[in-house]
Chain A
Amino acid sequence: MNILIVEDGDSLRGSLTKHFQNAGHVVDSAKDLSSARQIWRLKSDSFDLVVLDINLPDGSGLDFLRVARQPDAEVGVLVLTARSQVSDKVHLLDLGADDYMTKPFEFPELDARVRSIQRRRLKKPVGLDRLPPFEYDAAQVTFWHQGEQVPLRLKEAQLLSALAQAANHQCTKAQLIDRLYSAEQAVTDNALEVHIARLRQKLKPYGASIKAVRGVGYRYDYVD
């Protein structure tokens, strides 16, 4: 992923850059509004994510947010704010930020929010598989229904794709657990049941369902 970090604190900017680079991302960084604009002019198309501080020495990050959030831009914006000005948070989202975090943050939370933005701001899928009533984007593990992304968590999307793509739309519990978790993660049947129950709730509005098959596992049902 290509990430632009706009943060005036040298040390925090350095830590963020290092953190994202360690995770294998390509990072550009700017210490103020003018250098952020300069970088943006040169390569705005290449960025997937902007991590943006609001209090900058030469102005407000909100100004840059307006630039980055132009209608054709597909970049995600995560705002970092140290402000306790309570109404700001609502305002930020109104201006088109995808999410915000108040300083200081924990890197696991930062990663979680970045992943979430990425899943919500996916590039329009090409070459979808038909899994009625949905269309499935295997590359990004997302489901679509009549052009709208179905709001599934990653694990739920993985479960649904496993079931919908399986022969007879049927999988064993072990198969499903393997799909969700790596070998070294200790997982119980209960975890699987919880995810299945939540997925069932989310499928209801689409007329699809998941049935338990005694002695086997689960089966995906959809009657057109």
Chain B
Amino acid sequence: MTMSTKLPSIRRQLITRLMTLLVLTVVMTFIATRQVAFSSLQQAQDQSLSAVAQVVADSLVMSDGRVDFTLPYPAFEVLAYQGPEALFYRVVGPASETLAGYADLPVLESNSETLVYRDVEVRVFQIEKRIRNDRPPVKVLIAQTQDELNKTVTSIASRAAFGLVGIFCLVAALVFAALQSGLRPLRHIERALSERQDDDFSSLEFDAPAEVTGLVNTLNRSLEKHRQLLDRSRAFIAEATHQIKTPIASLAAEADLLAQEAPAPVKSEIAQLAIHARQTSRLAEQLLTRAALRYREGLQHRKRQPIAPLLDSVAAGFEPLAEEKDVAITVISEPKNCVFDAVTLREALVCLLDNALKASPNLGDIQLHAATQPGGLEISVIDQGPGFAADLPPGTGLGLELVRGVAEAHGGSFTHSHREGRTCCTLYLPQ
């Protein structure tokens, strides 16, 4: 029985969670880094802009009733360090007239502001200087584009994010390695369980890490319970057989002895008593054998092994009885190694040979024949008996059912036919 996997694998779950975490962290880091970098770079830009504006403002003088000033070009050099940004300026006189620079650069309400000017984003810094107390102050505006600043900020944030991805990959590798080694004991258990024989219920013995000890102990307790159950079931079958069959055996044996000594009128009746006792016992035997075999069916005992020794040993068991009837049992085994369960196949063959010997005439021949057929192994028991009548002798039906059960447990079939004075019972076992 194979259990379908309903839950995604631990590895996949881990990957999904790690990826989600990675994406969230990278996005958050990117945003946070960007903000910090932007605010600090803008602060620096503001200071430069303010310094330049201050220099311009310092040069403002009143000359002949007019505002006069010089543009301090060296001061602009300071701004050049910010990168190839475009620079704008405007000096606004007391009467709001543009004294110099770009007349469309808007006057600010506050000291500094970021606004869109000529379709690009610019940072504007504005200071005021009162040259004469009776006149409104002169305003100096210095503006600079922010392209490079934005690029720098993005680059800093990207580098931070990439660094994080690198660290994350390292952590992920460590987590997977830990997972791999954490799952190793489970694979060990899986292998230990799958490699053992089906009726091996011995405890799992290996050094497990503390986390897996509980699982191993639980498995071992379960195995032990199954073993006890199996032993009880075996003991029950053995005991039940013994309890049923011993008194029947006594009954049959006593009836036999009594029949030898009894006067003629009751002799045949006593002999009948013995026959009935044996039929009862045979039924009990077959029921119990079938119970024992059915129990084995659940287990996989089939293995590749030589077939000839099994056939020889089954035939040898019948030799003393066959000699009494002058019946020859011939074993012909063509295939060498075949896949079968020796215990159940032996029971099936014993049953077939028992039927064959009972049905055989004196001096008859019985063949026990194993042959290779396309896709399988065919074992036939051929005798010179009359075949199976519609009303089978007591016990035969159950016996044939047992044989059929064994064939089907092997995934095969059982057939019998009677032709030209020969009865042929055939087991087909796919290979």
Contact = CB atoms under 8 A, between A and B. Distances in A.
B253 A15 contact: yes
Interface residues of A, number: 39
Interface string B292-316: 1100100000000000000001000
Interface string A103-115: 1111111001101
Given A85-B292, A198-B328, A103 B237 contact: no
Given A84-B237, A86-B293, A86-B344, A194 B246 contact: no
B278 interface: yes
B285 A194 contact: no
A211 interface: no
Interface in A158-212: 190-191, 194-195, 198
Nearest to B323: A153
B249 to A, nearest CB: 3
B323 A154 contact: yes
A1 interface: no
A83 B234 CA distance: 10
Interface residues of B, number: 46
A17 to B, nearest CB: 10
Nearest to A104: B249
Given A194-B326, A198-B328, A103 B248 contact: yes
B253 A116 contact: no
A11 interface: yes
Contacts, number: 112
B65 interface: no
B323 A16 contact: no
Contacts of A19: 253, 256-257
B429 interface: no
Given A9-B246, A19-B257, A112 B323 contact: yes
A1 to B, nearest CB: 16
Interface in B256-304: 256-257, 260, 274, 277-278, 281, 285, 288-289, 291-293, 296
A204 B292 CA distance: 43
Nearest to A153: B323
Interface of A: 9, 11-12, 15-16, 18-19, 22, 55, 82-87, 89-90, 93, 99, 102-109, 112-113, 115-116, 153-155, 190-191, 194-195, 198
Given A85-B234, A107-B253, 14 more contacts: A9-B247, A11-B254, A12-B250, A15-B253, A55-B242, A82-B249, A84-B288, A84-B292, A86-B344, A90-B346, A104-B251, A112-B321, A116-B319, A194-B363
